[in-house]
Structures are given as structure tokens and as C-alpha cells.
Chains A and B, each alone.
Chain A
Amino acid sequence: GQNIDQPTEMTATEGAIVQINCTYQTSGFNGLFWYQQHAGEAPTFLSYNVLDGLEEKGRFSSFLSRSKGYSYLLLKELQMKDSASYLCAVTTYSSASKIIFGSGTRLSIRP
């Protein structure tokens, strides 16, 4: 079966750094996505990792360890607009077009 775990909620302070973790158990793992979803809006793509390591894109970075079934999303210099849900999602070789989503982590930023 497929299983994706991420914390339900997190709180962080404006200007700080926060790390959102995601662990997964899937057969035939192919790659891992992170999406951002503001309340009442559609999810938007943040990052995609296939190989082990860290990928940096501005204030956001995403890390993957295939052997550990583990990923994290790192947000630096937090801004109030980063308050959103962050969705971890995986694809598998058997169906590369389908994405399996985790339940999401709701991140609240306080001033």
C-alpha cells in the first residue's frame, strides 16, 4: 500500500526558518512533489525531487532521501504570506501520472 505522513499543523515566527517533514512508504517510488495551498485556493507546485539531495529555489528548499523514505521542505526568512498548507505527494513507476497526496501540513506564521 501507499502511506504518506506529515505533521498536521505547525507554527513559526516571521523571519525564522521552518522545516516540514514528510515520510512515505510506497512501492515503486518514482519522485516526490511539494505543493503550497492557501486557504480556499488551488494547490500550486513548489518542487519536485527524484534524486537524493537538496534542491534550492529561492527561500524554499526541498530534500529527499530515497533510502529513508524521507523528505523535507525548508522555508527560510518566513513571511506572513507563507501561511498556507503544504502538501507532500509521491509518484510511482507503475503510474507516473498519478500523484498520491499526503493530508497536508497547515503552517501558521505569527508576527
Chain B
Amino acid sequence: DVKVTQSSRYLVKRTGEKVFLECVQDMDHENMFWYRQDPGLGLRLIYFSYDVKMKEKGDIPEGYSVSREKKERFSLILESASTNQTSMYLCASTPGTGRNIQYFGAGTRLSVL
């Protein structure tokens, strides 16, 4: 089974802090994604990566950056956390071929105070 692991289930940070959300997948998938999920807005794509050191902006990249130094790991960085970044963050990966089913991590619920 594909396993996508997010480093934290819950995080509480203060406004202005630098925040790192880590995601690791164990199936040698090419593509990795970061979403945020808010009530009534569904899943919104922040950034995705289709190869090591490659990244593309999604629909809402402002205030975020990403890093993919190794194929299995995709990090989401909030350079200076703000209260409007309080949300559920979901990481996903896909093989890059075939049906490209997205496999999700359990999510990180981030609260910025």
C-alpha cells in the first residue's frame, strides 16, 4: 500500500513564525502536492512538484514556498505565518503515469495564533 506520511497531525504556531510542514511518500512517486482545505472552499492546490528540485505554483501559492530536495520528501514552508493560514493542510502524491490516483497523507491541522 502507498503510504504518505505528514510529520504532524496538529500544530500551533504564532503569527510571524516560520513553519515547516513535512511530507514523505514511500512509493517512488514522481508527483507530489500540497493542498489546504477550508470549510466551503474544498481542496485548493498550493504547490506541486513533478520531479526533484522542480516545483510549480498552484492556485493559491501566496505566502507559501516549497522544497523538494529528494524524490520522497516534499516540504511546505510558511515564511511568516499569518492567522489566515490557519487551515487543514494535506499532502498527496501520484505515480505520474496511468490513472494518476492521488494518495493523501492524514493531514496537518495548523492553527496560527
Interface range on chain A: under 10, 10 to 19, 20 to 34, or 35 or more?
Answer: 20 to 34
Do the beta carbons of B42 and A96 come within 8 Å of each other? no
Do the beta carbons of B106 and A97 come within 8 Å of each other? no
Q: Which of chain B's residues have a CB closer than 8 A to the CB of A33? A: 101-102
A-B CB contacts (within 8 Å), total count? 51
Do the beta carbons of A97 and B43 come within 8 Å of each other? no
How close is B8's CB to chain A, nearest CB, in angstroms? Answer: 14
How close is B54's CB to chain A, nearest CB, in angstroms? Answer: 12
From known contacts A42-B106, A87-B42, infer whether A98 and B48 are also in contact, taking CB-CB under 8 Å: yes
**B94 at the binding interface (Cβ < 8 Å):** yes
How close is B37's CB to chain A, nearest CB, in angstroms? Answer: 9
From known contacts A97-B48, A103-B40, infer whether A31 and B31 are also in contact, taking CB-CB under 8 Å: no
Q: Write the A10-50 contact mask toward B (1 if CB under 8 angstroms, else 0).
A: 00000000000000000000010101000011111100100
Do the beta carbons of A42 and B90 come within 8 Å of each other? yes
**A99 at the binding interface (Cβ < 8 Å):** yes
From known contacts A91-B100, A97-B100, A103-B41, infer whether A42 and B48 are also in contact, taking CB-CB under 8 Å: no
Do the beta carbons of A104 and B45 come within 8 Å of each other? no
CB-contact partner of A48 in B35, B40, B101, B107, under 8 A:
B101
- Name the residue on A nearest B44 (C-beta): A101
- Name the residue on B nearest A99 (C-beta): B102
- Name the residue on B nearest A85 (C-beta): B42
Do the beta carbons of A42 and B105 come within 8 Å of each other? yes
How close is A68's CB to chain B, nearest CB, in angstroms? Answer: 22
Do the beta carbons of B45 and A98 come within 8 Å of each other? yes
- Name the residue on A nearest B40 (C-beta): A103
Do the beta carbons of A103 and B101 come within 8 Å of each other? no
Q: Which of chain B's residues have a CB closer than 8 A to the CB of A45? A: 101-103
How close is A88's CB to chain B, nearest CB, in angstroms? Answer: 10
Q: Which of chain A's residues have a CB closer than 8 A to the CB of B40? A: 8, 103
How close is A12's CB to chain B, nearest CB, in angstroms? Answer: 21
Which residues of A come within 8 Å of B, CB atoms?
A: 8, 31, 33, 35, 40-45, 48, 87, 89, 91, 96-99, 101-104
